[in-house]
Structure 1
Amino acid sequence: MADGDDKPTVLVVEDERALIELYVRWLENDYEVLTATGGEEALEQFRDDIDVALLDRLMPGMSGDEVLEHLREEVPDCKVAMVTAVEPDFDVISMGFDDYLTKPVEREELVETVEGLLSRTAFDEIEQELYALSSKQAALRSSKPKEELDESEEFSELQERIDELRGDLDAAMPDMEDDDFVAMVRDIEDGEDDAERGGDDE
């Protein structure tokens, strides 16, 4: 992982070259950016010092989901965001990513996501799991009707795990109201509220 004056390393896995070029322009000033146009090429780029990976889900040949599995095995400390046109379904709950962005993605959103993923390395395992699960919950709430979420056993179990982790954190750090981690999770929750209000307006 990056240290000292070294730039953090970001791996972009995307089969559309125009998007690769765009993401590189957005990130290259602050990060070392590696790129791959498919899953097999992504495997060749795996290095221990990759800090963040941005993965498309739908690619010819090896999918982003498969790349994610290999990445988790070979570079377990790497933070991963799926950046994809695929609307999240309940299968994302069991996937090992840390954040989920649905295309089209704006520059500010992508940059803030990379920054947020990098900052998570300072948190302990409970905090990192809670952040990842909260991101999945937010992605599902933005794409699924409330009725479908209410009927989903997987979503109910996700909420139970989030509540359990929050309880563990409250017990460990009862006075963490001003902690950066709390602010980051609240940002996710604010996004959920905005998505739900947007859905109610339709």
Structure 2
Amino acid sequence: MDTQDSPVVLVVDDERDLADLFTAWLSSDYDVETVYSGQDALGALDDAVDVVLLDRRMPDLSGDAVLAEVRERGLDCRVAMVTAVDPDFDIVEMGFDDYVTKPVSSEELHELVERLLARKQHDSAVQRYFQLVSKRAALDAQHGADAGDDPKYEALEAEIESLEAEVDSLTEEFSEDDFAAQLHRIGQDAAAEDDG
């Protein structure tokens, strides 16, 4: 494979076997770099990296801290948290692009990377919208109808609504997963209005 034109994916996970498995799954389609700690991730991060698959819970430096450093440096990469940590309302403040709870299959991992690479092509308003919709989907999956009771979730909803006007004309560029998540949400909203 000619890796010179391939997108660069950085896999960060302290579980070596899992990190190596992710690398094996992805290496036929991408130029994959693998590190086994948050500290090593900081050394591997540069402008060449397109996508970071980042575990949250690592002993030396958490994925949350690595993510904060990625955003602090202003690197133009998409970051997905791929973790065993169930999402809670703390994710609303985090700057990731997608959140996936382990276990994850090879197909799901490929779809995740492709989705993030597609998002990288969008302007910042669309990228922010996708980030927020992903957060809302993660919280909905974890907390169901109770998610709306938290003030952080309400703020998240308000920001999504304010961005929807900006990105409305670009909805045809949604991936199937993003589009399905948004349609599911619209259906829930309509059902809630009918019940109300």
Asked if TM exceeds 0.5, the reply is: yes
Residue 123 of structure 2 is matched in structure 1 by 124
CA–CA distance in 2 between the matches of 1:182 and 1:59? 30
Q: Sequence identity, in percent?
A: 44
SS in 1 for 2:174: helix
Residue 200 of structure 1 is matched in structure 2 by none
What pairs with 1:57-76 in structure 2 (closer than 5 Å)?
A: 57-74=56-73, 76=75
Residue 52 of structure 1 is matched in structure 2 by 51
- Residue 20 to residue 182, structure 1, CA distance change in 2 (3 Å): closer
SS in 1 for 2:81: strand
SS in 1 for 2:5: coil
Q: Which runs of 5+ in 1 are unaligned?
A: 195-202
CA–CA distance in 1 between the matches of 2:27 and 2:150? 41
Q: What code does the residue aligned with 2:155 have?
A: E
Residue 160 of structure 1 is matched in structure 2 by 158
Q: What code does the residue aligned with 2:182 have?
A: E
The CA deviation string for residues 159-180 of structure 1, in whole angstroms up to 9 with x for no partner, is: 111111112233xx3xx56x22
Residue 80 of structure 2 is matched in structure 1 by 81
User: Is the CA contact 1:72–1:78 (under 8 Å) kept in the aligned structure 2?
Assistant: no
CA–CA distance in 2 between the matches of 1:110 and 1:189? 21
* TM-score computed with the length of structure 1 as normaliser: 0.85
CA–CA distance in 2 between the matches of 1:81 and 1:125? 17
What pairs with 1:49-198 in structure 2 (closer than 5 Å)?
A: 49-74=48-73, 76-147=75-146, 149-170=147-168, 173=169, 176=170, 179-181=172-174, 185-189=178-182
| Cα drift, residue 43 of structure 1 | 1.1
CA–CA distance in 2 between the matches of 1:146 and 1:115? 30
CA–CA distance in 1 between the matches of 2:186 and 2:162? 21
Runs of 4+ deviating beyond 6 Å: 191-194
| Cα drift, residue 73 of structure 1 | 2.3
SS in 2 for 1:77: coil
| Cα drift, residue 118 of structure 1 | 0.4
> How many pairs are equivalent?
185
User: Is the CA contact 2:20–2:34 (under 8 Å) kept in the aligned structure 1?
Assistant: no
CA–CA distance in 2 between the matches of 1:103 and 1:192? 23
User: Is the CA contact 1:46–1:75 (under 8 Å) kept in the aligned structure 2?
Assistant: no
Q: Which runs of 5+ in 2 are unaligned?
A: 188-196
User: Is the CA contact 1:14–1:36 (under 8 Å) kept in the aligned structure 2?
Assistant: yes
CA–CA distance in 2 between the matches of 1:17 and 1:52? 19
